[in-house]
Each structure stands twice: as structure tokens, then as C-alpha cells.
Amino acid sequence: DVKVTQSSRYLVKRTGEKVFLECVQDMDHENMFWYRQDPGLGLRLIYFSYDVKMKEKGDIPEGYSVSREKKERFSLILESASTNQTSMYLCASTPNGASTDTQYFGPGTRLTVL
């Protein structure tokens, strides 16, 4: 069965802290994605990766960076957390780049920045 896991379900951090969100998929998928979900805004794409060590900016990359050292793992990094980064963060993966691909999502990490 397809599985995407995220390191934490809930996280509380302080302003200015460096925050790491980890995502792992066990499906040998090529592509991985990070979104943030906010009420009334739906999902907005932060970064995505089509291959190991490859990354592409999404719609809202400011304040974030990513790392993909291994195919199965995609990390989202908040270099210096701010209160406006309080949100639900969702990781997803797809087998390849086809527009017909279904995205498989993890359970999400609810991050609160105080």
C-alpha cells in the first residue's frame, strides 16, 4: 500500500528558530512536493522536486528551502521561522511527471510559530 509519512503531526516552534519538516515515501516515486494549507486559500505549492538533488520553486517559496538527498526523502526547511508560517504543511508524491498522476499525500504537520 502506498505510504507517505511526515515526521511530526504537531509542532510548536518559536520565532527565529530553524525548523525541519521531514517527508518519506515508500513508493519509489520520482516527484515530491511540499504544500501549505490555509483556510480559504486551499493548498499552495511551496517547492517540488523531480529527482534527487533537484528542486524547483513553487508559488510561495519565500522563507523556505528544501533538500532531497535521497529519492525517498524530501525535507522542508524554515531557515528562520516567523508567525506567518503557522500553517498545515502537506507533503505529496507522484510516480512521474505526467499530468494524469494522482498525488499521494502524507497526514500533514500542523506547525505553530509563537
Q: Which residues bind another protein (CB under 8 A)?
A: 4, 33, 35, 40-45, 48, 58, 90, 92, 99-100, 102-103, 105-108
Q: Residue 82 or residue 102: which is nearer to another protein going by CB? A: 102
Give how far Cα 37 sits from Cα of 28, 34, 53, 95, Å: 25, 10, 25, 22
Q: How far is the CB of 105 from another protein (least distance, A)?
A: 4
Local structure of 76: helix, strand or coil? strand
Cα–Cα distance measured from residue 35 to residue 76, given in angstroms and rounded to the nearest whole number: 10
Cα–Cα distance measured from residue 45 to residue 35, given in angstroms and rounded to the nearest whole number: 4
Q: Residue 40 or residue 84: which is nearer to another protein going by CB? A: 40
Q: Residue 59 or residue 80: which is nearer to another protein going by CB? A: 59
Q: How far is the CB of 56 from another protein (least distance, A)?
A: 10
Q: Residue 7 or residue 18: which is nearer to another protein going by CB? A: 7
Nearest to 34 by CA among 112, 111, 99, 98: 111
Q: How far is the CB of 59 from another protein (least distance, A)?
A: 8
Q: How far is the CB of 40 from another protein (least distance, A)?
A: 6
In this structure, what DSSP letter does residue 15 have? Answer: T
